[in-house]
Amino acid sequence: MSRRMIAATVGVLFFVQMATAMVGTSLIQAFTDGDTGRSPLTAGVLLMMSSGVAVVGIGLLMYRVLKDVDKRLAFWYPVLRIVEFTVSAACGLYLLKQLQEFPNQLLWVYVPTGVGGLILTYLLFISRLVPRPIAILGIVGYACLSLGVPLDLLGVLGMNDGPGLMLLVPGGLFEAVFLPMWLIAKGFTSPSSTRAFKSPAFATS
C-alpha cells in the first residue's frame, strides 16, 4: 500500500471510528437512562466495537509511516490502540451481561487513547508528516484528555458535561475534522522531508 493510500485510508477510518463511536455511545446512554430496550443496547455495543476495529486499523497503518520517524516509539502507538479496543470491548461485554456500565467505563478507555494520541501527535510534529498546527492541536487535545481522566476520577470535574466536556473539544476537532480531512485531501509529506525532522532523542539507525 502506498503512503498516499495509507493516508487516505487512515483519514476515512478516523471518520468511521468517530461516527460509530458517537452513535454507539448515544444508544448506550439511552439504555442507561432507561429510554430504550436490550436491542438498541446491543446495537450500541456493536457500534462501539466497530469503532474499536477502526481504531486498531488506524494504529497498524500509521505504524507503517511512523516507524520511519522513530521505530521504537512508533511501536507503542498500535499497541496502545489495541489496548484501547480491548478495554472498550471488555466494558461493552460487561454492559451486555450485567446490564449496567462498568464504573468509570469511558475513563478507562480514555487512558490508552490519550497516551497513544500523544505519541502519534508528537511524531507527527517532529516529522512534519502533516502541518504542525494540526499536530499541535492534537497534542493539546490528547493532553487535555489525559489531564481530564484523573480530574474526573478525583471528582474535580465530570468529562461528560460542563467544563469537563470542553476538554474533549480540541481532540474531537483533531480526530473528526482537521487530521482526516488533511490526510484525505493532501496525504503525508514526502519521505525526504520526514527524514529531515527525525527526532535526535529517539532516532534509530
- Name, in order, each residue with C-beta under 8 angstroms of 97's C-beta and a sequence gap of 6 or more: none
CA 149, 30, 13 angle in degrees (round to 5)? 60
pLDDT score recorded for residue 118: 98
Domain positions in the chain are 3-196
Report, as an integer, the average pLDDT of 25-54.
91
Query: Quick check: 192 pLDDT over 70?
Result: no
Grid cell for residue 121: 501527535
Nearest alpha carbon to residue 136 among 168, 106, 173? 173
Q: Give the residue with greater pLDDT, 164 vs 61.
A: 61
Three-state SS annotation for 59-110: HHHHHHHHCCCCHHHHHHHHHHHHHHHHHHHHHHHHHHHHCCCCCCHHHHHH
| Helix 105-127 × helix 71-98 angle, to 10° | 160
Confidence of residue 191 (pLDDT cuts 50, 70, 90): low
State the pTM of this model.
Answer: 0.88
Query: Quick check: 21 pLDDT over 90?
Result: yes
Residues 88 and 52 sit within 8 Å (Cβ to Cβ): yes
* Percent of the chain as helix, strand, coil, to the nearest 5: 80, 0, 20
Average pLDDT, the chain: 90
| Residues, the chain | 205
Give residue-wise pLDDT tens across range 155-186.
898 888 778 889 999 999 999 999 999 999 99
pLDDT score recorded for residue 205: 32
Confidence of residue 204 (pLDDT cuts 50, 70, 90): very low
pLDDT score recorded for residue 57: 98
Give residue-wise pLDDT tens across range 101-157.
889 888 999 999 999 999 999 999 999 999 999 999 999 999 999 999 999 999 898
